[in-house]
Amino acid sequence: SQKIEQNSEALNIQEGKTATLTCNYTNYSPAYLQWYRQDPGRGPVFLLLIRENEKEKRKERLKVTFDTTLKQSLFHITASQPADSATYLCALSDDGVYPNFGNEKLTFGTGTRLTIIP
Amino acid sequence: NAGVTQTPKFQVLKTGQSMTLQCAQDMNHEYMSWYRQDPGMGLRLIHYSVGAGITDQGEVPNGYNVSRSTTEDFPLRLLSAAPSQTSVYFCASSQLRSGELFFGEGSRLTVL
């Protein structure tokens, strides 16, 4: 069966260190993978998208890697700050879905709750 | 620019009652979708639409109906609420082929 797993439910990181979150998937052939941030009581907010033919993407202090051989994406936050504390969700789109405009049937992981400790 | 607006934010229903969760977006997005979020389950796709007059089922469509008569609106109807439908519901929209979903703030539904 298809499955998306995020490495841990909760992760505590000291301020200033790099936080690394993992997203593993099985039985998918994703066209792309996305990362979202969700604060308590709020809707998810888009952070980054990486396509299957891209190895790495960066945005300010954020970096995402995508290894289709390992079926894994890593999400890094460098120089972490207490304001980075939130739940981070990975999501992917299976390119086996027709018609695939790129958005429909986006499947989400259960998320990792990241806490940056001052 | 309001983005994606969901109403109501909170609702309590009794088993068997019906209701509609409203979703509106002002970004002229073709794609709209409904997800439910439950503890330990992640976000699960209920229904989606790639344009006015076009809807399709997601992973967990049973017990829910949708329609898309305009580009802006995508209401989610519960015809006969069940306790298993207690959840937080999120509406999301995007431009086709863009990948980035814009979410509303959620509607928390409790079915007694």
Sign (positive/negative) of CA torsion B98, B104, B110, B111? negative
Q: Which of A21, A55, A16, A26 is nearest to A36 (CA)?
A: A21
Tell me, yes or no, if B54 comes closer than 8 A to chain A by beta carbon.
Answer: no
Is A105–B101 a contact, with Cβ atoms under 8 angstroms apart? no
Q: How far apart are CA A104 and CA A94, in angstroms?
A: 9
Q: Would you state the pLDDT for residue A98?
A: 47
Confidence class of residue A3 from pLDDT cuts 50, 70 and 90?
confident
**Residue A104 pLDDT exceeds 70:** no
Confidence class of residue B33 from pLDDT cuts 50, 70 and 90?
very high
Is B106–A46 a contact, with Cβ atoms under 8 angstroms apart? no
B53-100 pLDDT tens trace = 999 998 899 999 999 999 999 999 999 999 999 999 999 999 877 778
